Structure 1
Amino acid sequence: MGNTDKFEMIANIYDTPERIQIAKVSSDAIREYLIDTKSKNAIDFGCGTGLVGMNLLNDFNSVLFLDTSPNMVNQIKQKISDFNIQNADTLCFDFETEGLSDLRADYIFMAQVLLHIDDVEFVLSRLFDVLNEGGHLLIVDFNKNENIVSDIVHNGFHQEELTDIMKKIGYGHIQSKTCYTGSKIFMGQDASMFILDAQK
């Protein structure tokens, strides 16, 4: 996945108050779309230090924290150990370069991850394959923001364009809405975030 080397360097200082706050916003937005998930298994895809998934542990039977950065995964392992968490596991894995394993999940959520991915359609189609029939992919990310110019991340997404890509892959029952607006939350710029829910 994109920018792994950058995340490797900041793993142990990643949990800033700002990131913790945005993670709470993200997990609260995701929770709105969860129905009868206590017996379901989830993947926190591109989990970073697990800030979002940790907030959702009680909503699922189990959560797999998946990231391409070994240092980020080590941060999660430490949290799982420190808090003696029984329903979490970790996996260091890169969907963009490694062959699909036998991973399966009822829910996959990804918060501020898609903007780091070069080939959005490819990764979304990979995630489609991982979902169980009837499973949900939940994406929290930034709305398209023309003030941001970057060669390492997308400057957000148009919800309609993302919906079209996902329909093409085979996702259905797609719904999205803007769920948060904040100052200086996206590369120093004021920005808004959306949540998108899609079903296999």
Structure 2
Amino acid sequence: MGNTDKFEMIANIYDTPERIQIAKVSSDAIRNYLVDAKSKHAIDFGCGTGLVGMNLLDEFRSMLFLDTSPNMIHQIKQKITDLNIQNTDTLCFDFEKESLTDLHADYIFMAQVLLHIDDVELILSRLFDVLHEGGRLLIVDFIKNEKIVSEMVHNGFNPGELADVMTKIGYRDIQFNTFYTGNKIFMGHDATMFILDSIKG
């Protein structure tokens, strides 16, 4: 996945007050879209240090923290051990390089992950394959901002255009809302965040 090298370097200093706050509003937004999730299995895709997923542990039967960065996975493993959490697992894996045929989930959520991914359609297709029939993919990310020019990340997304790509893959009942606007939260720029909910059907 994109920018793994960068995340490797910052894993042990990643949990800043700003990131913890963004993770809280993101996990609150995700929680609003969960339906009968207590018996369901979830994947925190591109979990980083698990800031979002840790807030949602009680909502699911189990959760897999998945990231491409070994150092990020090390951080979340430490948290799981320190807090003696039982219903979790971790996996270091890069879906941009290959797919996993034996991995399945009822819910996948990804918070500020898609903007780091080069081939968005490829990843969304591979996650579609991971979801059980009727499973849900929840995406939290930034609304497109033309002022941001970066070779490292996408400059956000137009949720409607994203929905068109996802419809082509086979996702249905796609809905999205903006839920948070913050100062200088995206590459030093003010930004608005959206959540997109979709079902494999």
Task: Answer yes or no: same fold by TM over 0.5.
Answer: yes
Residues 163-178 of structure 1 aligned to structure 2 (within 5 Å): 163-178=163-178
Shift of residue 196 of structure 1?
A: 0.1
The equivalent of 2:87 in structure 1 is 87
The equivalent of 1:98 in structure 2 is 98
Q: Is the 8 A contact 2:68 2:94 kept in 1?
A: yes
Task: Output one character per residue of 1:49-73: Cα deviation in whole Å (capped at 9) or x when no partner.
Answer: 0000000000000000000000000
Q: Supply the AA of the counterpart residue of 2:114.
A: L
Residues 1-200 of structure 1 aligned to structure 2 (within 5 Å): 1-200=1-200
- Alignment RMSD: 0.5
Shift of residue 99 of structure 1?
A: 3.4
Q: Supply the AA of the counterpart residue of 2:156.
A: G
Shift of residue 133 of structure 1?
A: 0.4
Q: Supply the AA of the counterpart residue of 1:87.
A: N
Task: Output one character per residue of 1:50-97: Cα deviation in whole Å (capped at 9) or x when no partner.
Answer: 000000000000000000000000000000000000011100000010
CA distance in 2, matches of 1:152, 1:96: 16
Q: Supply the AA of the counterpart residue of 2:124.
A: L
Where structure 1 has 5 or more consecutive residues not aligned to the other structure, the ranges are none
Q: Is the 8 A contact 2:26 2:140 kept in 1?
A: yes
Task: Output one character per residue of 1:99-126: Cα deviation in whole Å (capped at 9) or x when no partner.
Answer: 3240000000000000000000000000
CA distance in 1, matches of 2:20, 2:99: 32
Q: Which moved more, 1:94-103 or 1:81-90?
A: 94-103
Instruction: Return the TM-score normalized by structure 2.
Output: 0.99
Q: Supply the AA of the counterpart residue of 1:111.
A: A
CA distance in 2, matches of 1:55, 1:145: 28
* Aligned partner of residue 38 in structure 1, secondary structure: helix
CA distance in 1, matches of 2:173, 2:197: 8
Q: Is the 8 A contact 2:99 2:126 kept in 1?
A: no
CA distance in 1, matches of 2:182, 2:101: 38
Q: Please list every run of at least 4 consecutive aligned residues from structure 1 whose deviation after the TM superposition is greater than 3 angstroms.
A: none
Q: Is the 8 A contact 2:8 2:71 kept in 1?
A: yes
